Structure 1
Amino acid sequence: MNNWKSHLALLVCNVVWAMDFPFYNIVLPRYVHPMAMISASLIVTALFSLVPLLWRKAERVERADIRKLVGAALLIGVLRKLFLMYGLSKTSPIDGSIIDTIVPLLVLLLSVLLGMDRFTRLKLAGLVLGMAGAVAVVLTGGSSSHAHSQLAGNLLVFLTACTTSFYMVWFKRLISRYSIFTVLRWLYCVAAVMALPLGIGPILHTNFRAIAEHALLPTLFVLTVPTYLPNLMLNYALKSVPATVSSIYTYLQPVLAILLSVWMGLDKLHLDTVLFALVIFLGVGMVLKSYTLPPRHAEPPAANPH
């Protein structure tokens, strides 16, 4: 089957998400308060999620699932955004993009703890290796040689990865019951309502003139592009491309984020960061490789939702 469209969708998703890290770093917190960006981006995404209703009939959601969807909205829509926005406002885009690649390792750990998967020697070795690299990247944020990084920011990005992993494991069965249009509409409309009371003040106090003069394009990009449309493309791609293949595409994110950050003068690449990143990549690769070997117990995570 010719699935080049799916591979193109995966490529576009990961390029867009790679651009998140340097562009957020430009905008936050110099021009936009993190809480203002959280609330505004959720409102924009919620509006996007309503557009399919123009040609699709709203899918009925079981009453028992409504509370779960509200919980998912709080987790992935609000808490993940909080950790990510405040984290990237306090650390470098390079560190942030590298730390975010540990999601498959955390998904494996949670799956084992919940009895949904089990360790093999290869999985355990990959988990230990990858997590060691991630901890090293986080801790370098406190080093004086990494002027653009902060330990607090790295820890918040790490919490972002933890939140994503918990969502992917805990709510997997729930979101598989409904179309992606329905899931995204519930997640982001509910999340927007939750975040608005906290974000309305910072939004009103935003210096829009400064944004227009110095950061208009990056602000418009992170406000409108990274969340809704890439997630739609990701789910379209997963209909014909195995999750293992999709996981390989996620390696593009830190590589592109590093290239963009260095090219834009937002950060400098350090040798220790490169080595720690390679350790993480090796660990994640070992875990993904384990799913291609018999016996096969579970499907590895596809990609990180943004």
Structure 2
Amino acid sequence: MNKFKPHLALLVCNVIWAMDYPFYTIVLPHYVRPAGMVAASLFVTALFSLIPLLWQKAERVDRKDIRKLVGAALLIGVLRKGFIMFGLSKTSPIDGSIIDTIIPLLVLLFSVLLGIDRFTKRKIAGLTLGMAGAIAVVVTGASSAHAHSHLWGNILILLSALASSVYMVWFKKVVSKYKPTTLMRWIYCIAAIVTLPFGLGDIVHADYPAIARHALFPTLFVLTVPTYIPNLMLNYALKYVAPAVSSIYTYLQPVLAIAVSVAMGLDRLHADTVIFAVVIFVGVGLVLQTYSSRKRTDHPVTSRH
């Protein structure tokens, strides 16, 4: 059962993240404007992050790491969340979920640039394939055939993936130094403080009667579920499962997001999108294979949404 629990945690958190894309599309920007949703979701996550203090003594953070945690909050809390919210308000959940799967490739690229990792022929081939597929998905957002997609929305989703990748590489040491609950508390409380002044007006002026009638469950879901709970599950799973193995579960996200979006009539699957997605998957798979034989890996703990 102990061996099963980490895989169950990975499965659950990736299913939750897959549900983000269609539910965000329902809520944004029809019922809540993106800035309001960013601020509200970060505020709720910050409140959740304080709950463990009821039974857990606060972990002391070194003064020299506070500046790093502020940077992490701005990157993964404010920028990542902002890019993905504004991006999904302008593009399709299918495109968003597919573009987001290139994060392992971007992590490799930044790791090489910082001298943490090195290229091999297989890594170069995987990076080339994956990036080509991602760029193709982004560009097709400008095509009139993709009515639910939009070029600028796809670019914002790509920028959110870039923010996640930089965070995962740049803040690796500080992330591995503290408990997951400590990191969540610092990152999301800071992010909430930064974003609340910008989103407060949209929160106040949201159409709450319309939300109650037509989008209550999706709104409550994206406010309360996608950030805090899945990230705790992921950090728990990474204590027992190699990051290369956990990355395989991310392939579930576009598959589930596509199934839900099509079933709910929010999007339509195109043949070229399927082809580009396969190209990305092959590219990411080639890169992950290079790490699968290692007993230990340099990949840091990830944080999403």
Q: Report the TM-score range of the alignment, normalised by the length of the smaller protein.
A: over 0.9
Give yes or no for contact 1:246–1:302 (8 Å, CA) kept in 2: no
Matched residue, 1:103: 103
Deviation at 1:275, TM superposition (A): 0.1
**Paired residue for 2:280?**
280
**SS class of match (1:191):** helix
C-alpha deviations, 1:43-88, integer Å up to 9, x for none? 1000000000000000000111111101110111111111000000
Q: Which moved more, 1:22-31 or 1:284-293?
A: 284-293
Residue 236 of structure 2 corresponds to 236
Does the residue aligned with 2:292 lie in a helix, a strand or coil?
Answer: coil
1:241, distance to aligned residue in structure 2 (A):
1.1
Residue 239 of structure 2 aligns to a residue in which SS? coil
State the match for 2:298 in structure 1. Answer: 299
- C-alpha distance in 2, partners of 1:179/1:240? 15
Whole-Å separation in 2 of the counterparts to 1:242 and 1:3: 13
Runs of 4+ in 1 over 6 A off after TM superposition: none
2:76 is aligned with 1:76: yes
Cα distance between partner residues in 2 of 1:156 and 1:181: 29
**Residue deviations 1:91-131, cap 9 Å, x none?**
00000000000000000000000000000000000000000
What is the aligned partner in structure 1 of residue 192 from structure 2? 192
- Corresponding residue of 2:267: 267
- Counterpart amino acid of residue 305 in structure 1: R
Q: Judge conservation of contact 1:3–1:241 (CA < 8 Å) in 2.
A: no
CA distance in 1 between counterparts of 2:154 and 2:242 reads 31
Structure 2 matches for 1:86-235, cutoff 5 A?
86-235=86-235
SS at match of 1:60: coil
Counterpart in the other structure of 2:33: 33
Q: Which amino acid aligns with 2:268?
A: K
Aligned partners of 1:59, 1:262: CA distance in 2, in Å? Answer: 45
Measured after TM superposition, the shift of residue 2 of structure 1 is 3.8
SS at match of 1:251: helix
How many angstroms apart in 1 are the aligned matches of 2:178 and 2:216? Answer: 36
Structure 1 CA distance for aligned equivalents of residues 53 and 93 of structure 2: 36
Cα offset, 1:291, TM superposition? 1.2
- The separation in 2 between residues aligned to 1:214 and 1:293, in whole angstroms, is 49
What is the rounded CA distance, in whole Å, between the counterparts of 1:180 and 1:297 in structure 2?
A: 20
Cα displacement (A) at 1:213:
0.5
Distance 1:304 1:171 in 2: 11
C-alpha distance in 2, partners of 1:2/1:185?
Answer: 27
Q: Which amino acid aligns with 1:187?
A: I
Q: Tell me, in whole angstroms, the C-alpha distance in 1 between the residues paired with 2:203 and 2:303.
A: 27
> Secondary structure at the residue paired with 1:275?
helix
Count the aligned residue pairs.
305
Contact preservation (8 Å) 2:176, 2:301: no
**Hey, what's the Cα distance between the residues in 1 that align with 2:261 and 2:136?**
20
Match of 2:60 in 1: 60
- Partner amino acid, structure 1, of 2:13: C
Offset of residue 239 of structure 1: 1.0
Shift of 1:293: 4.4
Whether contact under 8 Å (1:247, 1:303) holds in the other structure is no
The amino acid across from 1:299 in the alignment is D
Helix, strand or coil: the match of 2:15? Answer: helix
Q: Is the 8 A contact 2:22 2:266 kept in 1?
A: yes
Once the two structures are TM-superposed, the CA of residue 292 in structure 1 deviates from its matched residue by 2.5
Conservation of the 8 A alpha-carbon contact between 1:36 and 1:203: yes
What is the aligned-residue identity percentage?
Answer: 70
CA distance in 1 between counterparts of 2:80 and 2:179 reads 22
Conserved? CA contact 2:176–2:300, under 8 Å: no
Are 1:117 and 1:297, in contact at CA under 8 Å, matched by a contact in 2? Answer: no
Partner letter of residue 27 of structure 2?
V
Q: Deviations over 1:268-295 (max 9, x none)?
A: 000000000000000000000011347x
Q: CA deviation at 1:244?
A: 1.4
Q: Please report how far the alpha carbon of residue 303 of structure 1 lies from its aligned counterpart in structure 2 after TM superposition.
A: 5.2
